Amino acid sequence: MSSHSNPSASSLEVWLKTTTVWLDAICRSAPVSENGTHVELSDLARASKTYWDQQAQIWSCLWRVGAPSGLEAPEDRRFLDREWHEHPWYNAIRRLYLANSRLIADVVESADLDASTKEKLRFFANQLIDAASPTNFAATNPEVARLAQESGGKSLAQGLANLSNDLARRQITITDEAAFEVGRNVAVSPGSVVFECELMELIQYAPLTEQVACRPLVIVPPCVNKFYILDLQPANSFVRYACEQGYTVFLVSWRNPDASLGDLRWDDYVESGVCQAIRVARSIARADKVNTLGWCVGGTLLACALAVQRASAEDTVASMTLLTTLLDFAQPGDLGAFVDETSVRYREAIAGPGSILSGKDLALVFQMLRANDLLWPYHVDQYLKGGQPPPFDLLYWNADTTNLPGSMVAWLLRNTYLENNLRVPGKVNVCGHPLDLGSISVPSYVLAAEADHIVPWQAAYKSALLIGSEPEFVLASSGHIAGVINPPSAHKRSYRTRKSLAQTPDAWLADTKVHPGSWWTHWSAWLRRHAGKAIAAPTRPGNDIWTPLAPAPGRYVKVRTL
């Protein structure tokens, strides 16, 4: 339809074009100050002009089907259905949404705020933008409308049933959970629980080589998730890979705490968790020292434990590996948007016996960090289309949430994300000792991931600078999970290395060498230098003091959050 055949359309176009010309003139003719110099137009004014430009293009295209709009965006998975581009109504809705989204983002960027406040505003503005997508509403999603018509409304009815079920369980269903069972088809590496306390079980894995390094490897996974992300399937199991490389592997399996453990503190996780695991593993292996590895907050716990051991004059650790770990929280990633003085004081007020941060609440926070990947697609597929998610081991692990003790969370939030106290020597006490991360003098391997939104790689780099010995810093491609879980057999991704550290992350990055494939092989070659001589592999788990209690993966990991 031509705009000239529709008077209202013609009038609308004239008005929009006039407005656009007027705004363009304003932007091109900056105001003149008293001394005759031109004054730069504000970012907000430019954002407004861009927005009205887009409005004119959108509405012009609405009346002239097939006319170019000038608003084409990079491919967006939400709008792959052809009707988003070919149907005039849905096409206009899509482009109006994109224009409004850009306006909100531009307004946020034009705000005169300090860096921390702007980062929080940017995060929550993105949450609003993601939630407002027309794909998320039945009335404005052509795929939902088409499926409802084809199924006679059955898809909508099933979607309501799916929503009701998820509301009852207080968790979005993101995979077919009935398809997996811990110990049956995930977390299947053979081994034995050789130690147990109220906080953790320690698993010793069976050797896969005739000889092993005399110094064992002790792995400290994050306590905010179940450990078996490191042992999902044999093909991508980091645990199995380490065993195949000739290391005796011990792994901490954190308990999923209930209200009876609500008063457990950060110090308990350090002493009764990490330090105790090191002692038991060293005793069983009859080794002079152990090698250690921590991931995410498990790495933060590990670094604290090694600093405590240093203050206690213990010398039982040969090396430390940190995977996507924060020690310096000046750049806390997207999680920093949830932490301020008010929220931390609330956590402190309710901390103590019986106080638990629900794993389901924590899972929702992590889903919000990548809402367009981990939240809204499931809302659309399950609630609007009435579908059922397929089985996926990684998403099964992601949905297997873990509670945290309130006292431990309160300490962690204040001393890391809020006040960033760990980077200041002696600022906090851990297990009765002033904490000094600079006292950690063992050889260290620090891995970061380029696209990590939880631990920005630049923050991981600055964290590495706090360690007393110069670490081997490695930058893997991809994000927080895929950057770490990347077996060599997959022949995927890459990693960067440099012979020495630089003063800044950018300076380090500018002089790095890119290696195709997995960082696992690079790490294993590095660890070999600290693993000690080769000895015969143990023929049985444990020893006379620490006898096997149960087969791996143990019982703590099987406790589900209610």
CATH number of residue 464's parent domain: 3.40.50.1820
CB count in 10 Å sphere of residue 561? 19
Q: What is the pLDDT of residue 48?
A: 64
Measured CA distances, 344 to 186, 339, 415, 468, 535 (Å): 36, 7, 10, 30, 50
Higher pLDDT, 54 or 541: 541
Measured CA distances, 107 to 126, 168, 559 (Å): 12, 39, 46
* Percent with pLDDT over 90 in the chain: 76
Residue 69 pLDDT > 50 = no
The candidate with the shortest Cα–Cα distance to 196, out of 238, 252, 245, is 252
Task: Output the six-digit token pair for 433.
Answer: 């000792």
Q: How confident is the model at residue 559 (pLDDT cuts 50, 70, 90)?
A: very high
Give me the residues paired with residue 293 across strands: 219, 321
| Tally of domains in the chain | 2
Quote the DSSP letter at residue 429.
E
| Helices and strands per DSSP (H, E), number in the chain | 20, 17
* 36 lies in some domain: yes
Over residues 122-128, mean pLDDT? 92
433 and 300 co-located in one domain = yes
263 and 406 co-located in one domain = yes
* 388 lies in some domain: no
Q: What pTM was estimated for this model as a whole?
A: 0.87
203 and 69 co-located in one domain = no
Q: What is the pLDDT of residue 111?
A: 86
Over residues 128-143, mean pLDDT? 95
Task: Name 19's Cβ contacts closer than 8 Å, sequence gap at least 6.
Answer: 52, 56
Tell me which of 77, 112, 147 is where a domain ends: 112
536 and 433 co-located in one domain = yes
* 154 lies in some domain: no
The candidate with the shortest Cα–Cα distance to 483, out of 299, 323, 320, is 323
Q: How confident is the model at residue 110 (pLDDT cuts 50, 70, 90)?
A: confident
* 334 lies in some domain: yes
Q: Cβ(466)–Cβ(436) under 8 Å? A: no
DSSP H or E segment with residue 295: strand 290-295
Higher pLDDT, 79 or 65: 79
The candidate with the shortest Cα–Cα distance to 244, out of 444, 521, 515, 485, is 521
Question: Which string of DSSP letters, residue by residue, matches 489-500?
Answer: GG---EEEE-SS
Tell me which of 93, 112, 131 is where a domain ends: 112
Q: What is the pLDDT of residue 112?
A: 87
Residue 493 pLDDT > 50 = yes
Measured CA distances, 68 to 65, 77, 85 (Å): 9, 21, 11
* 349 lies in some domain: yes
* 244 lies in some domain: yes
* 396 lies in some domain: no
Q: What is the pLDDT of residue 64?
A: 54
For the chain, how long is the longest CA-to-CA vector? Answer: 93
Cα 248 from Cα 203, distance rounded (Å): 11
Q: Cβ(54)–Cβ(99) under 8 Å? A: yes
Q: How confident is the model at residue 63 (pLDDT cuts 50, 70, 90)?
A: low
Residue 136 pLDDT > 80 = yes
331 and 458 co-located in one domain = yes
φ and ψ at residue 541, rounded to 5 degrees: -80, 160
Q: How confident is the model at residue 9 (pLDDT cuts 50, 70, 90)?
A: very low
Q: Domain range holding 7? A: 3-112
- State the residue for tokens 């000690």: 532
pLDDT in tens, 409-461: 999 999 999 999 999 999 999 999 999 999 999 999 999 999 999 999 999 99
Catalytic residue, chosen from 275, 296, 304, 431, is 296
Q: What is the pLDDT of residue 22?
A: 41
Measured CA distances, 156 to 84, 140, 242, 369 (Å): 21, 14, 48, 28
Q: What is the pLDDT of residue 176?
A: 94
Q: Annotated catalytic, 296?
A: yes
* Percent with pLDDT over 70 in the chain: 87
340 and 476 co-located in one domain = yes
Q: What is the pLDDT of residue 36?
A: 46
Q: What is the pLDDT of residue 20?
A: 45
pLDDT in tens, 299-346: 999 999 999 999 999 999 999 999 999 999 999 999 998 999 999 999
CB count in 10 Å sphere of residue 361? 15
Task: Name 188's Cβ contacts closer than 8 Å, sequence gap at least 6.
Answer: 231, 233, 234
Residue 253 pLDDT > 70 = yes
Measured CA distances, 250 to 257, 277, 287, 441, 494 (Å): 21, 8, 13, 23, 27
pLDDT in tens, 212-245: 999 999 999 999 999 999 999 999 999 999 999 9
* 301 lies in some domain: yes
Cα 331 from Cα 417, distance rounded (Å): 9
Q: What is the pLDDT of residue 352?
A: 82
Q: What is the pLDDT of residue 57?
A: 65
Tell me which of 112, 130, 147 is where a domain ends: 112
105 and 207 co-located in one domain = no
* Side chain identity, residue 146: R
